[in-house]
Structure 1
Amino acid sequence: MKPTLSFFFVFFCFSTLLAQTDYYYPERGVDWETRSPREAGLKATALQEAVNYAETHEYSGPRDLRRAILKGFEYEPYHEILGPVKKRGGPAGMIIKDGYLIASWGDIQRVDMTFSVTKSFLSTVAGLAADRNLIRNTSDPVHEYIWDGTFRSEHNQKINWSHLLQQNSDWSGDLWGLKDWADRPPREGGIDDWKNRKLVEPGTVMEYNDVRVNVLAYSLTHVWRQPLPTVLKTHLMDPIGASSTWRWFGYDHAWTTIDGYKMQSVTGGGHSGAGIFISAEDMARFGLLFLSGGSWNGEQLISEEWISEALTPSTPNPNYGYMWWLNQQGNRHWEGVPENVFYAAGFGGNFIVVAPDQDLVMVLRWLEPSEVGNFVREVFKAL
């Protein structure tokens, strides 16, 4: 890891917060302990208005997510469904204060696709690797770890782990038959212009691109020498008491062989299918882990240093860290909401929002994506 001034500032803020906060951590298989809004120090009427807002601003896309995906990415050349897809439920969510459940709506135990919320889980698997020195430093070139040709070219040899985690690597190539240039291309210009463009220096331009995210997942699979769902389950989801219902899928044909074992390389999103399928309750546990600085009921599962690094704004995009969105000044800033709020976000309006100063976690399923900032402001009115 490469410390910066911003890194130390975020680390100081988290350390100070953790010294002052004692959270409730729900046990596996039991009902989440509740507190009334009044007991939690919130205004009940204002909080109910926030819940009503979430319930009445459902994602406008069809509940048949196969149709929603094909429509949402129809401008991509050669786009198709390559992994599992599941019809979604209706609006659902949870609001957690100090670890206690103070509001919920919809079916919070229903397992649904979560799309790019998966990316925040994926970056956390990288953090688990860094904590165990499987990745010595995020500034290390990835080709020092992955020597099979994935990072062979002159350009790709410059790419380090931070570049992949911040989505500013401009990795060039194809993975599982998908071309990097065919993933979310600019709407103007032809295919030939885009696929033959000049590559930019890694670390200088952020581009949201699932092929490159899946290159990160593939690389981490080889670093861990295990399927990433196994890593996540063993080191994180089981210790935080998550249910047995969540799944993490890859494309149907995305398999690699390590130590003689055939393993699926999972995806970091779902815009061609796959990704993490999970309930709102298990998402809330993951959010609570990050609210508490990586500690769960006294056990440090992921280091505070990693969380601080993951929440440090990248140079090309101040609203993005290691696959977490940051409420810093920039194009994704929510006015009236503290700048240290951070969140995971996925297609169709899936969110895990963490507000450290307020000891809040908000989980949203199938909220119209453009309305999330308004929802968070509604919650803050209840404080």
Structure 2
Amino acid sequence: MNGRLLDGAVQFAISNENKVDTNLRMAIMKAYDREPNYQVFGPVKSRGRSAGIIIRNGYIVAQWGDVNRVDMTFSVTKSYLSTIAGLGLDEHLISSLDDKVKDYVQDDKFYGVHNEKISWRHLLTQSSDWSGCLFDFCDWADRPPKTGGIDEWKNRPLIEPGSQFEYNDVRVNLLAYSLLQVWRKPLPVVLKDKIMDPIQASTTWRWYGYENSWVNIDGVMTQSVSGGGHFGGGLFINTLDQARFGLLFLRKGKWKSKQLISPQWVEEVHKGSAPNKSYGLMWWTNRALELPGLSPDLYYADGFGGNYIVVDNEHDLVVAVRWLDSSKLGELMKLITNAIQEKK
């Protein structure tokens, strides 16, 4: 790689730090204050400063900031949650993503003509239009439309599952709840045993739910974790561990000599989906070239405040970046890929 250009990319990331308040409790209260009865029920931690790691051909070629600092990662958590579903397929706890969730989770969450149609794929692609409330949060209260009354939104006609993409953290938490019912053990334990320990991640990461998201699993009260930090909680993790997770996906689910998650799953997560080809199984894709000038095979985890894990198969590249200006990801990745020098 061209050292001068690589240094320029690092300086670009540092000088384009996200302006989100370092007091993240204040930041999310401000971001979601339109939502009716909005509350923070999970842990929140003030953020650090710009940090990142660039891995090329399996080597760390650049890093900046405090890469050991544990920070909230918000919706990057969704890509870890997606991985729990992939592991469930690998271990035959789930037969098919197109199976109806009601056949696995037989409680009132999936009762009714609409909700009983919902499949695992619908939850993973955020196209279920599930209707209901979970842990005192209702689907209609998450990112309500800016026009029209709440009552109108609450009573709207429901959309056929699988036909329309709609970003909704209550429904993501429903996926976490449903996977907990399948695994019958805390999802952080599954992640630790199956992924984080084998990739030699640190012991500093934590995955939280809410103070009211405890459920009875075979007589043991177990916390159902959240898929992000919208209401607090989610994954708190350092940049090095994020980079290791990204490298696992760049290597098609294989770490050293051990296949931790099937290559078929890794390929599936970034295909894009019928309702939104820029969104796969809780990973964002570049299939629609929304990041122009970059590979269509590039995909990434994306969290509030400018948290990213970028996997670029074409260039054998992983970038884990914290607190980047959210409008600058494409420009940063172009600077990094421009620094790559082909072998002569």
TM-score interval, smaller chain: over 0.9
Alignment TM-score, normalising by the size of structure 2: 0.98
Alignment TM-score, normalising by the size of structure 1: 0.88
Q: Give the superposition deviation at 1:186.
A: 1.3
User: Is 1:179 aligned with 2:138?
Assistant: yes
User: Is 1:102 aligned with 2:61?
Assistant: yes
In the other structure, the counterpart of 1:199 is 158
Q: Give the superposition deviation at 1:266.
A: 0.1
AA at the equivalent of 1:294 = G
Map 1:6-45; keep pairs closer than 5 Å. Answer: 42-45=1-4
Q: Distance in 2 between matches of 1:253 and 1:339?
A: 41
Map 1:46-65; keep pairs closer than 5 Å. Answer: 46-65=5-24
Q: Give the superposition deviation at 1:271.
A: 1.0
Unaligned runs of 5+ in 2: none
Map 1:120-139; keep pairs closer than 5 Å. Answer: 120-139=79-98
**What are the Cα deviations for residues 182-210 of structure 1, in whole angstroms up to 9, with x where unaligned?**
00111111101111110000000000000
AA at the equivalent of 1:152 = Y
User: Is 1:295 aligned with 2:254?
Assistant: yes
Q: Distance in 2 between matches of 1:264 and 1:315?
A: 32
**Structure 1 ranges of 4+ moved more than 2 A:** none
Query: Which of 211, 231, 235 is 2:190 aligned to?
Result: 231
1:150 partner SS: helix
Map 1:1-383; keep pairs closer than 5 Å. Answer: 42-329=1-288, 333-383=290-340
Q: Give the superposition deviation at 1:61.
A: 1.2
AA at the equivalent of 2:85 = A
Q: Distance in 1 between matches of 2:334 and 2:2?
A: 14
Q: Give the superposition deviation at 1:148.
A: 1.1
AA at the equivalent of 2:325 = E
In the other structure, the counterpart of 1:37 is none
Unaligned runs of 5+ in 1: 1-41
Q: Sequence identity, in percent? A: 54
1:287 partner SS: helix
Q: Give the superposition deviation at 1:244.
A: 0.2
1:205 partner SS: coil
1:369 partner SS: coil
Q: Distance in 2 between matches of 1:356 and 1:310?
A: 13
AA at the equivalent of 2:329 = V
Q: Distance in 2 between matches of 1:184 and 1:371?
A: 24
Q: Give the superposition deviation at 1:99.
A: 1.5
Q: Give the superposition deviation at 1:378.
A: 1.0
Q: Distance in 2 between matches of 1:99 and 1:253?
A: 41
Q: Distance in 1 between matches of 2:103 and 2:220?
A: 22
Q: Distance in 2 between matches of 1:137 and 1:305?
A: 13
AA at the equivalent of 2:159 = V
Q: CA RMSD in A?
A: 0.7
Which deviates more from structure 2 when the two are superposed, residues 272-281 or residues 66-75?
A: 66-75
